[in-house]
Homo-oligomer: A and B are copies of this chain.
Amino acid sequence: MTNPILVEVLRGALVESRHRGAVAVADPDGAVALAIGDVATPVFPRSAVKALQAVPLVEDGAADRFGFGDQELALACASHSGEAGHVAGVERMLACAGLDASALRCGAHWPISQAAAAALARTGAPTALHNNCSGKHAGFLCLACAMGVDTSEYFRPDHAVQRRVCAVLEDFTGAALTADRCAIDGCSVPTWAIPLENLARGFAKFGTGRGLAPERAQAAARLRQACANEPWFVAGTGRFCTDVMQRFGARVFVKTGAEGVHCGALPELGLGIALKCDDGASRAAQAIMAALIARLLPLDAAERAALSPHLAPVLRNWNGIEVGQIRVTQAI
């Protein structure tokens, strides 16, 4: 099955590049409200499922034990930009469990934020704290502490923490996460390939609590509210996920993943969303997610206007001259 072209990138009046992809929108029972392209073949959700991966941290009492508020929980769900506030927040999470940055096994990379990277370069070099996944890893470490298990190998698929996370992902998505669907993520934890229709169902459950055990529904609601209250901690300055959740609060949950994945929930409609660009392009995934929100959610004029820069971003060159535009196609 060839997925349709969902996004075009224009330079001047001509289409310069094209992005194909697939989209699933589903309810908590798995009924598919919208399917575009192949929604049945498993795809790696990567960081788009961090909020689901953070559920045991709340459900098992670790978040309460360590006194985590909205910022810490948002960081556990985050692909953060490595700005000073993100780094300080992750350090705080680790300190709550009596740990420090040396416990993180996510590896180091320069902050996603160019301003943060430039500031860091003046005084030092990146550590694991600056890795966009450091909040998720701090959450895994805190979960390991609360479970009373060894923390040193928390990233391995056979560690109690990852087995727990795997079971939670299976419960949300209804997909069997077998070893043949498992690969290693950028930050070394396992990532399991899951069909988009199952991911959409999982986020419908996350957004509504329907189809979940009461304590799991409660954990999901708390994480969702944390992200709605502190969206800057989920991504960072100028980032898509932060901008959208700052604007829409608890009405919209969105989370990016590497290689063109995006997941989300529209709780008032009882729907979850999962999409992937075939080629892995984030620029297209964001435009598609913005288009889906615009298509599905009842919006007033101000909300529509706030979303439009994400729907059809103008492309400018190094001199600030407008050179083109990204636009979604009629397929969405």
Please give the residue numbers on chain A whose beta carbons come within 8 Å of chain B beta carbons, in ascending order: 2, 9, 11-14, 16-20, 42-44, 105-110, 114, 117-119, 121-122, 125, 131, 180-188, 191, 193, 259-260, 277-281, 284, 317-321, 323-324
Contact = CB atoms under 8 A, between A and B. Distances in A.
A193 B19 contact: no
Contacts of A13: 180, 183
Contacts of A317: 107, 184-188
A156 B260 CA distance: 36
A17 B110 contact: no
A281 B281 contact: yes
A259 B323 CA distance: 13
B318 A19 contact: no
Nearest to A106: B318
Q: Copy number in this complex? A: 2
Contacts of A117: 117-118, 121
B14 A183 contact: yes
A92 B319 CA distance: 23
A122 B320 CA distance: 25
Given A17-B259, A43-B16, A259-B16, A318 B280 contact: no
Contact of A321 (B108, B188, B279): B188
B17 A324 contact: no
A19 B110 CA distance: 27
Name the residue among A13, A186, A318, A321 with the largest chain B CB count within 10 angstroms: A318
Given A9-B280, A191-B11, A110 B114 contact: yes
Given A12-B182, A188-B317, A17 B260 contact: yes
Given A281-B279, A317-B186, A318-B187, A14 B323 contact: no
Contacts of A119: 121
A181 B16 CA distance: 11
Name the residue among A11, A105, A109 with the largest chain B CB count within 10 angstroms: A11
B121 A14 contact: no
A58 to B, nearest CB: 26
B191 A318 contact: no
A138 to B, nearest CB: 16
Given A18-B278, A186-B317, 13 more contacts: A11-B183, A13-B180, A14-B42, A16-B183, A17-B260, A18-B279, A19-B279, A107-B319, A186-B318, A187-B318, A187-B319, A278-B279, A279-B281
